[in-house]
Amino acid sequence: MKPGLSLRVSQHLALTPQLQQSIRLLQLSTLELASEVEQMLDDNPFLERSDDDAPREDFGIARSDTAVSEGDRVSEQAFEGHDDERAESVEASDSQSLVAESWDGDGSVEAAPDDGEWGGDAPARRNNVEDDDALDPGERGGLQPSLTDHLRRQALSLRLGPEDAAALRFLIESLNDDGYLEDSLAELAATLLDEDDGLEQMEELVHRFTMALNLLQSLDPPGVGARDLLECLSLQIKSRQSERDLTASEQSRVAVALKICAQHGVLELLARRDARRLAQLVGESEEAVRAAMAYVARLEPKPGRRFADVSRNAIVPDVIVSTSGQGPQQRFRVQLNPEVMPRLRVHEIYANALRGGRGGESHQALTQRLQEARWFIKNIQQRFDTILRVSQAIVERQKNFFVHGELAMRPMVQRELADELGVHESTISRVTTAKYMATPQGTFELKHFFGSALGTEAGGNASSTAVRALIKQFISSEDTKKPLSDNQIAEMLKEQGIDCARRTVAKYREGLRIPIASLRKLVQ
C-alpha cells in the first residue's frame, strides 16, 4: 500500500470552558448557586457585589416590576460599560477621599478608620445583634438551640459527679437527630475500651451507662433517649402519667395506652387500627382501647423534631407567579425572585488598573481572570433568563392548574417544551431540577408541572398528575370501614372516562404514600 494524502471534512462539538460553566450553573439549585457565587467572589479579585441600591440593569435580569419577555437580552455593555455613577465612585476612590462608614448599634453613623491604622489581621466590624427584637425571623430561627445543647443545659442542673456527668454527656452526643439512641449500651461501651480491658471494665461501664440512660430519659423532651418507637411512646405516656392534673377519664386512657405500648409487636395492630385485637391483647374494652389509640396517635414519634435545623430543608422559590383580574380577564404574571438573584459586577478599579498595565505573563494571567469574571456574570444572567423563559412557557401551558388546581393539570413532557423554546431536552431537565415556583396554589418544583398522558374515552389525554389528584380525592372521601381497593379505584377512573390499569393505580398510590386498603381500614 502506497502512502498518500487525503482531505476529509468533519464536524464535532467542543465544550469550551465557558459552555461547561454555563451548563454547570444551570443545573445548580438556589442554595448551591449561592455557595458557588461566594466561592467565586473569594477566588476572583475582579468580581464584586454591586450595591443594594444599584439598578438591576447592571446585572441584566429584571427591569423594574415587569417580567423579562422571551428573547430579551442584555447587551455586552451591561457587563463591560461604565455609567456616570460608577465613574464618580472610581474617581473618588482614586483620590483616596472616600470615607468608609459603619452603622453602630445605637443608630448613629461614625467614620471608620483607614486601613493603614489597623493591620490586615484586625477583625472586621460587626453589627450589634444582641437585641433579639432587631433580628428578622430567619436570624431568630438560627438562634434556636439544638437538641444536644438543650439536653446539656439540663444535665448541668443535675449536679452529677465527674464520671456520671461524662457518661451522660457521651449518651447525649450519641443521639441521632430524632432523639433516639441507635447503638446499644454495650456497643457504645466497646468504643471506649481498649483491647487490654477485660469483662469487668465492660460491665462497669455498661452499668454506668445504664444509670446515665435513666437520667437521660427523664429529661425534656419526653421520649428522648429511646431505643425504639415503642419505648419512645412509653416514655411519653409515663411522663404524662406522672402529672397531677389528670382527670379520672384521662388517667384511665393513659393507663390503657401504656398497657398497649408495653406489648411486643403491637405496632402493626396500631397501624391497622385494629381495636378488637388490641382489646383482646390487653384485656380492656374496645371503647377504652379506641380512646387510648387516639391518645397514642397524638404522641410525638420523633422527640428531636422540634430542634431540627429547618433552614437546611427550607425551599426558596426561584420564580414567583402572581395573578391579577378575575374570571376570563385573570392574568398571570411570572417574575424571578429578586432575593435569589446575586447582584454582581466587575471590579472597575482593578479592571482600569489592568488596562493601563504592561504586557507580560502576569498581565495575561490577570486578563484571563477578568475574562472569567465577565463569563461568570454572563452565565448567571443566562441561567436566570433560561429559568424565566421555561417558567413562562409552563404557566402558559398550565393556566388551568393555576385556576382550578391539580385536577385541571394538562399532560406535558419536556420534549414538547424544548421544541417550543428551541433548546435541547437536557436543558429543560437541568432547568426544572431543584428549581421551585411559588404560585397561588402553593410552591412546587418545576418538574411537578410535567406529566405523562393517559388515554380517555373521549379520545383526549389526561395528565398523570391530575389522575394522582383524583385518586387522592377518591381515597380521602372513602368509607374507612370499607376502603377502596386498587381495582375499585381503577373502575371509578373508567367511569370518569380515564383508562387506568390497576397496576398504574397502585404505582400512583404508592407515590402518594397512601397505604393499601387493608391498612386504611378502621376495624370496629
pLDDT per residue over 345-363, tens digit each? 888 888 787 776 666 677 7
| pLDDT tens-digit map of 218-245 | 999 999 999 999 999 999 999 988 888 8
Would you give the DSSP letter of residue 98? P
Distance CA(44)–CA(347), nearest Å, equals 10
- Separation between Cα atoms, residue 484 and residue 490, nearest integer Å: 10
pLDDT, mean of residues 121-148? 49
Question: What value does the mean pLDDT take over residues 35-56?
Answer: 77
* Pairs from 327-336 (Cβ < 8 Å, separation ≥ 24): 330/403, 332/395, 332/399, 332/402, 333/67, 334/67, 334/388, 334/391, 334/392, 334/395, 335/62, 335/65, 335/66, 335/67, 335/388, 336/61, 336/62, 336/67, 336/68, 336/384, 336/387, 336/388
Which residues touch 369 (CB under 8 Å, ≥6 apart)? 44, 45, 46
Last residue of a domain, one of 194, 216, 238: 216
Which phi and psi (to 5°) does residue 3 adopt?
A: -70, 145
Q: Do 442 and 323 fall into the same domain?
A: yes
Same domain, 323 and 444: yes
Give the pLDDT band of residue 69 (cuts 50, 70, 90).
Answer: very low
Q: Report strand pairing: 344-346 vs 436-439.
A: unpaired
Note the pLDDT of residue 111.
Answer: 36
Taking residues 394-398, what's their average pLDDT? 92
What per-residue confidence (pLDDT) applies to 320?
94
* 416 and 371 within one domain: yes
Per the structure, the complete domain to which residue 397 belongs is given by 17-68+314-451
Of 340, 331, 367, 332, which is closest to residue 351 (Cα–Cα)? Answer: 367
pLDDT of residue 405: 86
Number of domains comprising the chain: 4
Which of 167, 261, 250, 178 minimizes the C-alpha distance to 209?
167
Q: Are residues 445 and 481 in the same domain?
A: no
> Rounded to whole angstroms, how far apart are CA atoms 171 and 298?
27
Identify whether residues 415 and 286 lie together within a single domain: no
Confidence bin at 288 (pLDDT 50/70/90): very high
The pLDDT > 70 percentage for the chain reads: 78
Return d(Cα 508, Cα 471) in angstroms, integer. Answer: 8
Residue 388 confidence (pLDDT) above 90: yes
Nearest Cα neighbor of 408 from 441, 446, 438, 431 is 441
Domain final residue, candidates 216, 245, 261: 216
What's the pLDDT band for 93 if we cut at 50, 70, 90? very low
pLDDT exceeding 90 applies to what percent of the chain?
A: 35
pTM over the 0.85 mark: no
Residue 50 in contact with residue 360, Cβ under 8 Å?
Answer: no
Same domain, 330 and 427: yes
Number of residues in the chain? 524
pLDDT band at 308 (very low <50, low <70, confident <90, very high): confident
Domain finish residue from 175, 193, 216: 216
| Cell numbers that stand for 346 in this block | 466587575
* Residue range 79-90: mean pLDDT, rounded: 37
- Closest C-alpha to 269, from 290, 298, 240: 290
What pLDDT is attached to residue 465? 87
Residue tagged 381500614 (cell numbers): 521
Cell numbers placing 48: 464584586
